Chain A
Amino acid sequence: MNKRSLWSGPYILWMIGFTVIPFCMILHYALTDRDGAFTFRNLLAMFEPVHLKAMTVSVEVAFFCTVICILLAYPLVIAMKRLGLFGKSYTILVLILPMWINFILRLLALQMILSNNGVLNHIFSILGLPPHELANTRTAMMIGIVYDYLPYMIVSIYNSVADIDDDIIEAARDLGAGSLTVFFRIILPLSVPGLLSGIVMVFVPSMTSFVTANIMAGGKIQLIGNIIEQEFITTMDWHLGSGLSVILMIFVLLSMAFTSRNDPDYGMSKIW
């Protein structure tokens, strides 16, 4: 070991203590039963209807939240590109300001806003609109997830889009491209690295979230994360919980591998 790599020692110790050893323990629990005998049963439990359904809901929720984040992020990022330096810094400050507050506090605030007697329905009633029972629904949960992870998507895409030279966009316009063509032929392809890292940063945590479901959906929706949580905390079946975790981890790793293979710059590896 040379001198410089010694500096990474504290971090390596940390990683061994809090990532490598727990991971080995999870693997051990996943592949054994209560008597300590080797088994695949905990892994195959994923294919039980209850678990499969939770997995499907998780993928759906993660997928739609990611799409919503992309649709919200691109127009903002393109608008930001036209702002001056002050406008850009100000917008980014506004974006990351909520991230300085603990996400559970943020979710509790959102819960208040969306609750049946909350701020949103109060505004609806002033406007003469019928009340919306958003509390404890999948919509409320997705609003919570999008709210939490949108800044990651915006910052990732922004980093890519800000690198595109204005001259290139002007050249496209000069050659006859309207705004839509400029977006689909120039801005979108050139921001693929940022888009992919944004997808990973939103999709993966959405897939595995369970606190958001607990708070925003009032425990009425079971994501795969909620099932795993219950196995560990309520049922105390660490073997089954570990088995489901390993399958979820494999799924997440596969989806990340898929995105990075389609990334021309392997830009994601810089972040992960």
Chain B
Amino acid sequence: MSDVILRLDGISKSFDGKQVINRLDLEIKKNEFVTLLGPSGCGKSTTLRIIGGFEKPDEGCVIFEGKDITALPPDKRHINTVFQKYSLFPHMNVEDNIAFGLKLKKKSRSYIKDKIEYALGLVNMDGYGKRMPMSLSGGQQQRVAIARAIVNEPQILLLDEPLGALDLKLRQKMQLELIKIKKEVGITFVYVTHDQEEALTMSDRIIVMNKGIIQQMGSSKSIYDEPQNAFVADFIGESNIIDGIMKRDCLVNIQGVDFECVDVGFGKLEPVDVVIRPEDLTIVKRGEGYLDGTVISEVFKGAFYEIVVKVSDYEWLIQSVNPAAVGSIVGLTIIPDNIQIMHKPISEDAEVIKDE
């Protein structure tokens, strides 16, 4: 058998006539850390709930280890979920919460005791067994929720924005801990988030979704470096997205200036979207770059300056380690490798979410 553990086959789902997922196909491999990434309402949580069995798809099927489990209720699936709101049982202490699934499976008392100890250690919560959930902080509750899911040794662990309610510092710490836990228990993680940094940090593979459609799948690096459309480029990190016209292979015209690039296979004079990351643009002296423009703002961000340069009617966003005086006229240059050319979206489904 192949190492595919879960397959979604043509899944569609709508709520009150509104299409949330549109003919979604997806394969998840054993032991993978897959992240579904997208803005709220893109269908990522619904996809997760369909895998978990909390929603039935209108069309399509869920294949788990070669068997169709579409009609199987959540309690019959070898899949466990960590919910966004922790969802610990408030009337049980930490130990009883963790033991809940094991008791239902009629495991022996000593087995359960060992498992609780192991799981509490895994999530760094030794000694908290007798505490009630209400007396724990958000981060601690989420650790217990992870422990409660993991002791059941699921084939797949689903995580629905589990760090969403935590503050930034704690979130970053928990991200690293999740990677560690994942390595130690060796189970497949399917993770849902709208936080692109979280996705880039943890995932083996990212699936970017918008409007119920997969926009792009790939490793963190490929998603960041080679976004396939303007939506992905805009959603993953900050980008300059500007109209261009492909003159010929490896030559694109932006704002009336020809730029050398490395992209081939576009039609002659095809209108395209051009994506340039702010950190890839370099500020040079006036006349020494491709474009000249006026610096209209400069903000110190700690590791870099965020500079906006206006060239005719487009405002370029640049991240630079060197400051630039507001009002001065500067040149902009870029190496061909860092220009990303994309076809214009055919349907509105792949449209860029414009910043309001």
Contacts and interface: CB of A to CB of B under 8 A. Distances in A.
A174 B74 contact: yes
Contacts of B101: 175-176
A186 B148 CA distance: 16
A177 interface: yes
A167 B101 CA distance: 16
B104 A171 contact: no
Contact of A189 (B52, B73, B91, B148): B91
B104 A181 contact: yes
A67 interface: no
B319 to A, nearest CB: 40
Interface residues of B, number: 24
Nearest to B158: A174
Contact of B152 (A168, A175, A189, A264): A175
A165 B83 CA distance: 12
24 contacts: A165-B87, A167-B83, A167-B84, A167-B87, A168-B87, A168-B88, A170-B81, A172-B89, A172-B100, A173-B73, A173-B75, A174-B52, A174-B75, A174-B80, A175-B75, A176-B75, A176-B101, A177-B100, A181-B104, A185-B100, A186-B89, A189-B91, A190-B90, A190-B91
Contacts of B80: 174-175
A189 B90 CA distance: 10
A178 interface: yes
Contacts of B149: 174-175
A238 to B, nearest CB: 49
A47 to B, nearest CB: 42
A165 B90 CA distance: 10
Interface string A151-175: 0000000000000010110111111
A174 B91 contact: no
B104 A177 contact: yes
B304 interface: no
A13 B12 CA distance: 67
Contact of A174 (B81, B88, B90): B81
Contacts of B73: 173
Contacts of A173: 54, 73-75
A87 B102 CA distance: 37
Interface in B146-160: 148-149, 152
A174 B110 CA distance: 23
A171 B83 contact: yes
A186 B104 CA distance: 13
Interface string B92-106: 000000001100110
A190 B91 CA distance: 7
B233 to A, nearest CB: 34
Most B CB atoms within 10 A — which of A174, A181, A264? A174
A170 B83 contact: yes
B155 to A, nearest CB: 13
Contact of A171 (B81, B91, B105): B81
B73 to A, nearest CB: 7
Interface in A103-128: none
A58 B84 CA distance: 50
